[in-house]
Amino acid sequence: MKELHGHSMSIPIVSFIGRSNSGKTTLIERVIPALVRAGYRVATVKHTGHGFDLDTEGKDSWRHKRAGASSVVVVSKGSLALFADVSAQLKVEEVRDQFLDSSYDLIIAEGWKSEGYPKIIVVRDQLGEISYSSDGLLAVVSDKPIDLPVPVLHLDDVDGVAGLLMRQFPLRRREHELDV
């Protein structure tokens, strides 16, 4: 049975959510190396509420976009960047299905708290801000002791967070490995 997007082995998505300056980005950047050491190929997708422009004014790619190109792809040895117009806010699964190949094992999304992805909430001061009954809550990461019916890990317990992710999203055998 073919799935809607044609991805029978869709890359799993986990969302790290929390208030601004709660430590989400720092935690993600500390967890990624632990996952990579364990053999994971990780992609990240960051949500920002305000617009952004990563393309540098005056550079060729910026000039191409300003001239009217809907998409500009910049390629160098080992890297690729895409600057594309989108008609609306994309969901992480749309980014996954349109821009990422099946060689990734996990997508870590920063944001998208309302999209229903499995989530890890990063909390510092505002303990009452999170709905702990939210669907798909895997864990809470905090520098404060909190009593919850889900795992509560300390902000510095990077191996604990990575271990939880590895148990929740076991490493998948990639299609090219099956041909060996």
Q: Is 82 helix (H, G, I), strand (E, B) or coil?
A: strand
> Can you give the CATH number for the domain in which 164 is found?
3.40.50.300
Q: How confident is the model at residue 84 (pLDDT cuts 50, 70, 90)?
A: confident
Is there a domain that residue 35 lies in?
Answer: yes
Q: Given a cut of 70, is residue 6 above it in pLDDT?
A: no
Q: How many domains does the chain have?
A: 1
pTM (2 decimals)? 0.81
Q: 110 lies in which domain range?
A: 13-50+87-178
**Amino acid (1-letter code) at residue 153:** L
Give the Cα separation of 170 and 25 in Å (integer): 23
Is there a domain that residue 38 lies in?
Answer: yes
Q: What pLDDT score does 132 carry?
A: 52
Is there a domain that residue 120 lies in?
Answer: yes
Give the Cα separation of 36 and 40 in Å (integer): 5
Is there a domain that residue 127 lies in?
Answer: yes
Is there a domain that residue 136 lies in?
Answer: yes
Is there a domain that residue 128 lies in?
Answer: yes
Q: Given a cut of 90, is residue 107 above it in pLDDT?
A: yes
Q: Judge whether 120 and 31 are in contact, CB under 8 Å.
A: no
Q: Given a cut of 80, is residue 22 above it in pLDDT?
A: yes
Is there a domain that residue 73 lies in?
Answer: no
Is there a domain that residue 75 lies in?
Answer: no
What does the DSSP assignment read for 95-131? HHHHH--TT-SEEEEE--TTS---EEEEESS-GGGS-
